[in-house]
């Protein structure tokens, strides 16, 4: 399973990319709205693309297929490597099919059920984003839904990639990997939390203390 960062914050993205374990970025209108309102969205997205140098999903905000396609045209003028993120609604599927027919990659987002995921992949989605945290928020097991989707992909041989999104904590990330998701897109905080373990901290402190003792002993010889 690959790791993407789910963010529009350039500092967070830079920090995560420097870790060497991130191969893409997903954004959405809510994440974009958290950034400095004086910045041009196009500049934010281009800076993100320059920083990650890999997958960048940019979401459209139109609710009609024609509007989505116009927005996609504009985004692709910014950088042709963009993946166009499209909401899982009927109009979104129409736009997804048109873009897929032109070999433009799409990421169908706001997917909460296997039936939605099946429709998205048949409309030509390159990526299907299943939201974990928001399912758990309404007392539906996100791990069960994601496992179902991944099993269906296995049985059917669907080629689109499954993104586990709306990840809130490291356990979601592990569940996503166990389910068989291709990618987990993780917010900065959850990614940083996932790097830590108290035994790692304690172990490193002990190694450094022992090394210092050894140096001190050697200096007395
Ligand atoms: O990738 C989708 C994600 O940004 C939604 O996360 O935490 O708002 O449900 P959340």
pLDDT in tens, 163-172: 999 999 999 9
Instruction: Please give the Cα distance from 193 to 213 (Å, whole number).
Output: 31
Q: Where residue 154 falls among pLDDT bands split at 50, 70, 90?
A: very high
User: How far does the centroid of ligand 1 lie from the alpha carbon of residue 28, in Å?
Assistant: 8
Reply yes or no on whether 85 is catalytic. yes
Ligand 1, atom 8, residue with closest C-alpha: 166
Instruction: Compute the mean pLDDT over every residue in the chain, rounded to the nearest whole number.
Output: 97
Q: Which residues line the pocket of ligand 1, CB cutoff 6 A?
A: 6, 26, 28, 131, 133-134, 165-166, 168, 185
Tell me the mean pLDDT in the region 77-83: 97
| 21 pLDDT more than 90 | yes
The per-residue pLDDT for 210 is 98
Q: Virtual CA dihedral for 72, 114, 173, 21, nearest 10 degrees?
A: -40
Question: pLDDT for 30-68, tens place per residue?
Answer: 999 999 888 899 999 999 999 999 999 999 999 999 999
Q: Answer yes or no: pTM beyond 0.85.
A: yes
Q: pLDDT (tens digit, 9 = 90+) per residue, 101-152?
A: 999 999 999 999 999 999 999 999 999 999 999 999 999 999 999 999 999 9
The residue whose CB lies within 8 Å of the most ligand 1 atoms, and thus the one to mutate among 3, 134, 164, is 134
pLDDT at 1: 98
Local confidence band at 221 (pLDDT 50, 70, 90 cut-offs): confident
Put residue 106 in one of left, alpha, beta given phi > 0 → left and psi -120 to 50 → alpha. Answer: beta
Q: What three-state secondary structure class fits 24?
A: strand
Per annotation, catalytic residue among 42, 64, 77, 85: 85
Contact by Cβ (8 Å): 112, 142: no
Q: What is the share, in percent, of the chain residues with pLDDT greater than 90?
A: 98
CB 128 within 8 A of CB 106: no
| Look-up of token digits 């586990």 | 164
């Amino acid at each position: 399973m690959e790791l993407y960062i789910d963010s529009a914050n350039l500092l967070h993205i830079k920090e995560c990319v420097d870790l060497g374990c991130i191969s893409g970025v997903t954004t959405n209108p809510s994440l974009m709205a958290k950034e400095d309102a004086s910045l041009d969205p196009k500049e934010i997205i281009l800076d993100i693309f320059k920083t990650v140098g890999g997958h960048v999903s940019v979401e459209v905000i139109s609710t009609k297929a024609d509007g989505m396609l116009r927005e996609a045209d504009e985004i692709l003028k910014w950088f042709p490597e963009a993946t166009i993120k499209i909401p899982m609604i009927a109009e979104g599927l129409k736009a997804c099919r048109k873009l897929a027919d032109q070999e433009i990659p799409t990421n169908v987002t706001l997917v909460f059920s296997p039936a939605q995921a099946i429709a998205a992949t048949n409309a030509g989605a390159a990526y299907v984003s299943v939201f974990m945290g928001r399912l758990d928020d309404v007392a539906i097991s996100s791990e069960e839904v994601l496992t179902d989707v991944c099993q269906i992909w296995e049985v059917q041989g669907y080629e689109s990639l499954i993104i586990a999104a709306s990840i809130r904590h490291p356990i979601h990330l592990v569940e996503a990997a166990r389910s068989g998701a291709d990618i987990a897109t993780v917010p900065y905080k959850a990614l940083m939390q996932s790097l830590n373990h108290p035994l790692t901290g304690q172990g490193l402190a002990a190694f450094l203390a022992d090394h210092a003792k050894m140096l001190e002993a050697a200096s007395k010889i």
